[in-house]
Structure 1
Amino acid sequence: MNAACFKQLFNPTSVAVIGATDEPGHPGQILMKNLLSGTFLGPVMPVHPELASVAGEECYKTIDTLPLTPELACFCTPLAELPAHIAELSKRGVRAGVALSLGAFRYAGGASQEVKRAVVQACKEHEFCLLGPNCLGFINPSIGLNASLAHRHAKPGKVAFVSQSDSLFATVLDWASSKGIGFSHCITLGDRYQIHFGHLLDFLARDPNTRAILLYLETITHARAFMSAARATARNKPVLVVKSGRSTEGARAAAAHSGSFLGADDVYDAAFRRAGMLRVFDIDTLFDTVETLARTRPLRGERLAILTNGGSPGFMAADALLLGGGQLARLSAETSRHLTDALGCDWSSANPLVLRSDADADKYATALKLLLNAPEVDAVLVMRVPTSKIPGLEIAKAVAAVSRKTKRNVLTSWLGIDDALESREFFAEAGLATYDTPEKAIRGFLSMVQYRRNQELLMETPTSLPETYNPDTFHAREVVRTAIEAQGPLLTGPETMEVLKAYSIPVVDMRVDLPVDDDETVVRAAQDLGFPVALKLDSPDIMRKSHMGAVALDLDTPEAVRHAARTMRERIRAVLPEARLTSFAVQRMMRRAAAHELLVEVVNDPVFGPVIRFGQGGSRTDLAGDRQVALPPLNMHLARELVSRTKVHTLLKGSRDFPGADIDAICLTLCKISQLIIDIPEIFELEINPLFADSRGVFALDAHCSAARADHATGADLLSIRPYPRELEECTTLRDGRQVTLRPIRPEDEPAHYDFLEHVSADDKRFRFFSNIGELPRMEMTKLTQIDYDREMAFIAKGPDRLCAPGESCEIKTLGVVRAMTDPENRDAEFAILIRSDCKRLGLGRILMDKIIRYCRSRGTHRIIGQALFMNNAMAGLAERLGFQVWKDYDDEVYKFELEVNPEQ
């Protein structure tokens, strides 16, 4: 589905209503009423085989009798009739439609699947873009088009609302109308036969009339497409989401209602965070938050100062901030001195900064200026309690005047009703965020804080692991596959430990595969390790050994080992006579007084695929309930963020009496587990519990793993976020003999990319960026180096910047980069290339272009396109030699290039 299809769907110039009628309450009657009662200027053409007119408009018997070809078709007919209608419409050149209903067209059992397959096949065959079916339709207020079954129109605005729920769609329209809130688009998805959340996010990301996007969802499908679209959209526009099903029962009901898989709510939460979206939990907060983000600048930090003329509201705001995880700015001695010099004794000497209750506009303005100039303050909340002496509007104007001269955020909260209403209206017109209570103001600020944190996570595109890390993947894979062949999905404890060792995860010293009925062999193994030891009975039929009495700890004599082995064997055979007892394992007891017991867990979410959970471990894991989740792939920053969200993180940091744990070692272990599940897709469940952690590092004390034959060559295909594609790395040689490595760009290449651009001439930069540029801002450089590999690729050439003598050590630099941006449908990829100016005429441009062409061909991309300034004859010549069609566009004064790499059948 391309951009032209969505333009016809949501911005049509003419509409046909298939199944229009005057029958009260019928979808065809409601839709005609909504289309004709709005301000849409295009023709609305009803189609019905038996009616002469509908709603006063001439009615046409069949689609082929329509006087002109509509851009949008609205279906108000039974679902089974859609394939035939789509075929007829396609003959007229119609490519977009919406299938509406009031719940009357749902089918149950096999019939629904047959109908669905027929509709989907018709859409595919005729390249038809279908919204729904079983939806309320959509509204585009900017052109006055109400192609929905909603009971009211929507006002124009800059916020798009996309809902999976028809009932909430209608509720939000009512709510927004009462608040005077307008929309760029209001869209319901229905049963999502063809158009999903990801498609709409891509469309709205490109829509110039949309400033922010609000989503209501219950479940999603196509997780990778959703994450890719959400990450791309959230880089440029705020995306806020409300999701139902936070409780288990609520999630089950939502999944049943939508007919989709039930995914864990904490995994959805992690996905929203990782995609840079902001989750809120009710409609009021949704619109309050979008207004906050629309009226504020991106936060440069999280330290808030509170300025007020009333102590109690100020303290309430501070409490709400701290309890919500926010940070209260600590005023420096210098700032306090400036405030005292300016205000005398008329302030509280602390933050919240409390002025006298009768503080006038000058006092407010002076205090606000000093706070905004303080380096320890990132934002200021200005509050006012109503008094009879000073008009609130006068102070509001002074606050707005100061706010216009700063780049830091100023939020306002004028308390009261009648006295504050005029001031709040003034703030809204001045573009300042304003709230009627301290709690709402703090909630707005915390939303900004969380949005900032999510944006930081969004910009993380993890590498697999540092280049120096080389796990023994072959050995680990052989252990897993041998185990699957031998005993099925459950690996033994020793086999799991062997896999962990292959990935350089420290494990406790142990002896494995000891005979179940030879106690003396078990004793000798214990003596070799040294007492005390732990004894474990391995069985593919026992998942939690400690719960079944298959673990004995602190055995400090040979007799204790003999007794434990005999007792354990007899107990298990009595309780679980069908259990297969494969072997004993003896571990040396590891006692570290200050060690923390942690949990690392891999589970397979039905929506998002493999996810990693981390938290407090040991025998009280379930009781503690301290688990947080993250989507792989992970890097050290993402792993640290995951650890920081747990309660046990406070203990891991240590205190005056207890040394902290090696958090870097914990995070590195999480990254290694992330890499393990990417490399070995057979593993679908893994638990390390406990993972001991202290100041000396980590080691796994116990672990278990489940695996099965996999349909994928790599676990990367199972992840909802595509990881760094190491398989695309290769080496080549330049004309002067220099060896260079071609590889996908990584986030840590950012510093080297600045150095790279410093060695590019002004003319070459102009050829690449189509303008004269200096040093790129950090945000722009981040976009170049932290990419979503699912829809964009950039290959860099790394090598010495000069030909080195034999034995000479040369610094490795970035010598060139080529990138391709692919549209969401993977039809067109637009390329750009840049070479260091001192590395030209070495064949590097051709090498990089050949690399990106091969990559696009392997992805199934239809064609590669690009353009260059008229003066860039070298690029035009290279493109011609590579087989591109090259022509001059005299209107834009550019060369244009096109290469078909996968011809359409």
Structure 2
Amino acid sequence: MSTYRFEALLAPRRIAVVGAGDRPGSVGRAIIDGLRAGGFTGDIVPVHPRETSVDGLACSPRLADIPQAPDLVMIATPPAAVPGIVEEAGQIGAAAAVILSAHLGVGEAAPAGAAHAAARRHGLRLIGPDSVGLSVPARGLNASLLARPPKPGDLALISQSGTVASAIAEWGWRHGVGFSAVMTLGRSADIDIADCLDHFAEDFHTRAIILSLHHITDARKFLTAARAAARAKPVVVLRTGRHDAPGRRPETHTGALARPGAVYEAAFRRAGLLAVDGLDAMFSAVETLGRQRPFPGNRLMIVSNGRGIGALAADRLADLGGTLAEPAPATQDCLAPVRHGRQANPLDLGIDAVPGDYVGALEPLLAGRDSDAIVSIHVPTARAGSREVAETVAGAVAKARSAGRRKPVFAVSIGEDEAIRAIYADAKIPLFATDADAVEGFLHLVRYREAQNDLMRTPDALPREFTPDVAAARRIVDEALAEGRTWLDPYAVTELLTAYRIVSVPVTLAPDPDGAAAAAWPLIAGGGTVVLKLVSPDVVHKSEVGGVRLGLTSEADVREAAHAMIARVRELRPDARVAGFAVQPMLRRPQGRELIAGLAEDPVFGPVVVFGRGGTAVEVIDDRALALPPLDLALASELIGRTRVARRLEAYRDVPAADLPAIALLLVKLAQLAADLPAVRELDINPLLADADGAVALDARVRIAPEPSPPERRRGNWHPRFAIRPYPSDWERRIEVGERCVHVRPVRPDDEDMFRAFFAQVDPEDVRLRFFAPVRDFSHAFLARLTQLDYSRAIAFVALDDAAEEDRRMLGAVRLHANANHDTGEFAILVRSDIKGTGLGAALMRMMIDWARAEGIAVVEGSVLAENRPMRAVCRHLGFVEKAVPDDPSLVKATLSVGG
């Protein structure tokens, strides 16, 4: 239900506290105390069957006895009573409820399930169970069990864990960091992380969002909301339980490498979230975001009053992959009067530095363009106390800001106290206790900006670099499923890889040792050697039972090796069936690097692409990186670069570099295979041998299972379990509009320049009619909102003229943004001024309506300026019904019931 009734939840006028007795220390009484401490000015109504008053407040025996329905109901009762209270709250018209009670169980029959069902019947929004409440400091709302009311600010804190939220809120209170809201969701029976992201992404009181979560149940909903929020503002996430064991035992190396924590990490990266791995890192991020906005660039300048402490900061920056700024000669000349030693960065002011030395260093550094941010470190000495230096640094920064120079400064004061903290807080300068914390704070914002690059990428559903034989691949999988198999045999695996143009070693299957020797003979007679592998549906990892023999040079060797394999399997796995043997030529590529590539299936996020260092010790080495499909070559290359083995793929000594584009393309092919074949649950290429001549699969295994849902019931032409929707290339059209042929396709992130050129050709009056106000600044942020789409909640179609691909000009665009329930969508359209009246607007609207119908969106609506008569005429022609907007007579609402 997303943000439905959030306003009543976060700005209630009347709150009922059910289970609030007069006993000090009870949960209900603590909520009332918190409301009063926070300064809540609305009505507080305790509800208790045996009390007449609670701490001076008149008590009601039941919710139904309250004269006016409360907006918010706080529930602190035994679990069994909760469903009835939720039902009663819904019946009297309450908007929301927070269930503080714990141990409500799981499932529809449990109190948690019954409470959720009751809430859904009445449209009541639920937080919890197992919540510690919520707080909106600026509104005086502190309906929580937090130790003290949080201070007002512009950070929204959303947490599944009450203790983590309490720790962050308490840290913020002590460090002067405030919050626009604190919401603890507990077990999220109704309102979840995605709903909160949807709200706070659009909340102008919130500048950044802090998340603490343990699990996600609806990956697609979460990622859609997270990507939308991260486009609007920084989102930092801390996941608890990162090393929890997977729910099922993986059967392939790729499955073992795709542990839940690593998959969540990959999902956060793809969504543009900044992931931290502990409370210390979260506190650092909160301190940074509480004072400093994101900035361009990644070059850090370090200033300190000692060579050693500056060197430690530089070391930490290098350890974390940061970039040290290189001051220009002119800057170094300006720094000469205060610099000790020859090194320019870190800049050593000397142990005897006084506050004036910090001014002499900061003024030219803040004015220069050869660094992007500064860390100012001070260790107290007899020559200069921390307070004096803090005042000096704050003054220098304020002076630079007043002159329009807003370069970020991160302060470190060893042995900081409350007075110093207040000085830096008032100056909006992040303050850290150590150099390492400051460097991490700087990198938080650098990483956030870098994450936006991944966020912008939405690869095509079908990569253009190759054309797989999807029909042949599906036949291979369908035939195996029809035979009741869960693993493809080696020959079928080779055929599947061939269908996706993945190079592999040819294989011949043999039923017994004599057949294996016969199959090996042509290879041996040609002067080659062979590899013999056991084929068993019950043995996934052949090396564990001695099921692989390399370098066999005679029929006798092959026959002997096959008999030995059978004996070994009967000894170690007497239950295992031996289906035969696979014979392959021995491939010798002495400069090849052993890699692993494949697909795993995560129970939350669906298919995952895995890449890393391969070989028999792959799980012990654990050098791997994960990514959610779909992929393009840029994302695949970035995936490779996140592994340690990537350095071995470069040239060294007399070994040439491996063919990185070939490896990246292979990963793209695997991602496409996952999209085309939902029945493929795990795919393991290990080893994948890569050298300067390309990449070849030496061994592979594929686990299959029936599709999660029939193909005809999917929404669109994409994998039903993909967490991220690919670019819908199947919606590209060529349509006739009057005498003009027009190309229409979904908008891509790289269309920003085309949109900018389009707006330059549109009459300003038409722009005003589209956006309801004049628009003069078509900034990156403005255009990004139009071009960066998730193709699930938001879609836009652009019309292009009939010129060559590289010369096509934009003629118009239509947009549809669905609500979180995916049942209603809001449209907007703009056509180039010189071609209005040609029928293009109506054609684009029809395409948008077709998309809505295909997506199951029941209603399409849009606000239109009453004076925009041409647009209103198009809407009426297409069957839209107009209604006046009561609060704004300048607008009309055009609504169309799309239906099936």
TM-score, scaled relative to structure 2: 0.90
Match of residue 458 from structure 1: 455
Q: Could you tell me which of 377, 387, 397 is aligned with 1:383?
A: 377
- Partner letter of residue 284 of structure 2? D
The 1-side partners of 2:370 and 2:805 are apart by 45
In the alignment, structure 1 residue 618 sits paired with structure 2 residue 615? yes
User: Higher mean Cα deviation, 1-10 or 421-430?
Assistant: 421-430
Task: Show CA shifts across 1:615-639 (max 9, x none).
Answer: 1012231232211222222222222
User: Aligned AA for 1:323?
Assistant: D
**2:863 is equivalent to residue 867 of structure 1:** yes
Contact 1:163–1:188 under 8 Å retained in 2: yes
CA change 1:155–1:737 in 2 (3 A) is closer
Per the alignment, residue 478 of structure 1 pairs with 475
**Residue in structure 2 matching 1:119, options 111, 115, 119:** 115
**Cα distance in 1 between the residues matched to 2:608 and 2:485:** 23
Which residue is 1:725 aligned to?
728
The 2-side partners of 1:537 and 1:250 are apart by: 29
Determine the structure 2 residue equivalent to 1:783. Answer: 785
2:409 pairs with one of 411, 436, 445: 411
Query: Residue 154 of structure 1 contacts residue 182 of structure 1 at CA under 8 Å; is this kept in 2?
Result: yes
In the alignment, structure 1 residue 765 sits paired with structure 2 residue 761: no
Aligned to 2:295: 299
Aligned match of 2:438: 441
The 5 A counterparts of 1:149-168 are: 149-168=145-164
- Shift of the 770–652 alpha-carbon distance from structure 1 to 2, 3 Å rule, reads farther
Equivalent-residue separation in structure 1 for 2:37 and 2:371 (angstroms): 52
Q: How does 1:347-362 map to 2 (within 5 A)?
A: 348-358=342-352
- Cα distance in structure 1, aligned partners of 2:237 and 2:828: 34
For residues 478-877 of structure 1, the aligned pairs below 5 Å read 478-512=475-509, 517-519=514-516, 521-526=518-523, 531-569=528-566, 571-572=568-569, 575-712=572-709, 713=711, 716-736=719-739, 738=741, 740-773=742-775, 776-801=778-803, 811-877=807-873
Alpha-carbon distance in 1 for matches of 2:526, 2:81: 75
Per-residue CA distance 1:400-456 (angstroms, 9 max, x = gap): 4235546563324354447x8756543322222233332221121122222222232
SS in 1 for 2:426: helix
- 1:514 to 1:64, Cα distance in 2 relative to 1, 3 A: closer
Contact 2:339 2:350 in 1 (8 A): no
Report the Cα distance in structure 2 between the residues aligned to 1:286 and 1:875, rounded to whole angstroms. Answer: 49
* Counterpart-to-counterpart distance in 1, 2:703 and 2:785: 38
Which amino acid is the alignment partner of residue 127 of structure 1? G
Aligned to 2:201: 205
What are the superposed Cα offsets for residues 291-311 of structure 1, whole Å, 9 maximum, x if unpaired?
Answer: 212423423222212123321
Q: 1:779 to 1:663 in 2, by over 3 A?
A: farther
Question: Which residue in the other structure is 1:20 paired with?
Answer: 20
Tell me the equivalent position of 1:321: 317
Deviates more, 1:63-72 or 1:529-538: 529-538
Which AA in structure 2 matches 1:154? P
Q: CA deviation at 1:884?
A: 1.5
Secondary structure at the counterpart of residue 232 of structure 2: coil
Choose 21-30 or 717-726, whichever is displaced more. Answer: 21-30
Specify the code of the residue in structure 1 equivalent to 2:239: K
1:53-202 paired onto structure 2 within 5 Å: 53-101=53-101, 103=102, 105-107=103-105, 113-202=109-198
Shift of 1:755: 4.3
In the alignment, the residues of structure 2 paired with residue 29 and residue 366 of structure 1 have an alpha-carbon distance, to the nearest angstrom, of 57
Query: How far apart, CA to CA, are the structure 2 residues paired with 1:447 and 1:181?
Result: 17
| Separation in structure 2 between the aligned mates of residue 46 and residue 422 of structure 1, nearest angstrom | 41
Q: Secondary structure at the match of 1:133?
A: coil
Q: Match of 2:156, SS?
A: strand
> SS of the residue aligned with 1:816?
strand
**1:178, distance to aligned residue in structure 2 (A):** 3.2
Structure 1 letter corresponding to 2:731: L
User: Counterparts in 2 of 1:332-351, with a 5 A limit?
Assistant: 332=328, 335-336=331-332, 338-339=333-334, 343=337, 348-351=342-345
1:33–1:442 Cα change, 3 Å: closer
One-letter amino acid of the counterpart of residue 860, structure 2: I
Q: Distance in 2 between matches of 1:205 and 1:344?
A: 45
Q: Are the aligned partners of 1:140 and 1:146 in contact in 2 as well (CA < 8 Å)?
A: yes
For the structure 1 residues 532 and 894, does the alpha-carbon distance in structure 2 shift closer, same or farther, using more than 3 Å as the test?
farther
Give, in angstroms, the shift of residue 314 of structure 1.
Answer: 1.0
Aligned residue pairs total: 881
Q: Secondary structure at the match of 1:666?
A: helix
Is the Cα contact below 8 Å between 1:496 and 1:705 reproduced in 2? yes
Alpha-carbon distance in structure 2 between the residues aligned to 1:590 and 1:656: 23
Classify the secondary structure of the residue corresponding to 1:452. helix
What SS does the aligned partner of 1:897 have? strand
Partner SS state of residue 382, structure 1? strand
Amino acid at match of 2:719: A
How many Å separate the matches in 1 of 2:20 and 2:330?
A: 73
How large is the Cα RMSD of the aligned pairs? 3.2
- How far the C-alpha of 1:871 sits from its partner, in A, is 4.8
Deviation at 1:36, TM superposition (A): 4.3
- Displacement of 1:792 in angstroms is 0.8
In the alignment, residue 696 of structure 2 is paired with which amino acid? F
Q: Tell me the equivalent position of 1:401.
A: 399
Q: Contact 1:597 / 1:617 at 8 angstroms: preserved in 2?
A: yes
Q: What letter matches 2:727 in structure 1?
A: Y
Counterpart mapping for 1:228-243 below 5 A: 228-243=224-239
* Alpha-carbon distance between aligned partners in 2 of 1:332 and 1:52, rounded to the nearest angstrom: 75
Give the superposition deviation at 1:315: 0.9
Residues 172, 463 of structure 1: alpha-carbon distance in 2 compared, 3 angstrom cutoff: same
Contact residue 220 and residue 723 of structure 2 kept, 8 A: yes
- Cross-structure match for 1:44: 44
CA contact under 8 A between 1:218 and 1:245: conserved in structure 2? yes
Q: Secondary structure at the match of 1:716?
A: coil
> Once the 2 structures are TM-superposed, how far is the Cα of residue 125 of structure 1 from its aligned partner?
1.5
CA contact (8 A) 2:885 2:893 kept: no
Distance 2:581 2:751 in 1: 49
| Corresponding residue for residue 253 of structure 2 | none
Determine if contact 1:403/1:410 at 8 Å carries over to the other structure.
Answer: no
The residue type equivalent to 2:72 in the other structure is: L
Identify the range of structure 1 (87-96 vs 788-797) with the bigger mean alpha-carbon deviation. 87-96
**Which secondary structure state, in structure 1, belongs to the residue aligned with residue 894 of structure 2?**
strand
Kindly tell me: are residues 481 and 464 of structure 1, through their superposed partners in 2, closer, same or farther at Cα, counting changes over 3 Å? same
Question: Aligned to 1:409, what secondary structure does the other structure show?
Answer: coil
- Check conservation: 1:136, 1:188, Cα contact below 8 A: yes
* CA–CA separation in structure 2 for the residues paired with 1:395 and 1:130: 47
1:671, distance to aligned residue in structure 2 (A): 1.3
Q: Deviations over 1:260-313 (max 9, x none)?
A: xx9711212222222222222333432331221242342322221212332111
Q: Which moved more, 1:197-206 or 1:363-372?
A: 363-372
**Larger CA deviation: 90-99 vs 357-366:** 357-366
Contact in 2 for aligned 1:242/1:279 (Cα 8 Å) = yes
Measured in 1, the distance between the counterparts of 2:553 and 2:624 equals: 34
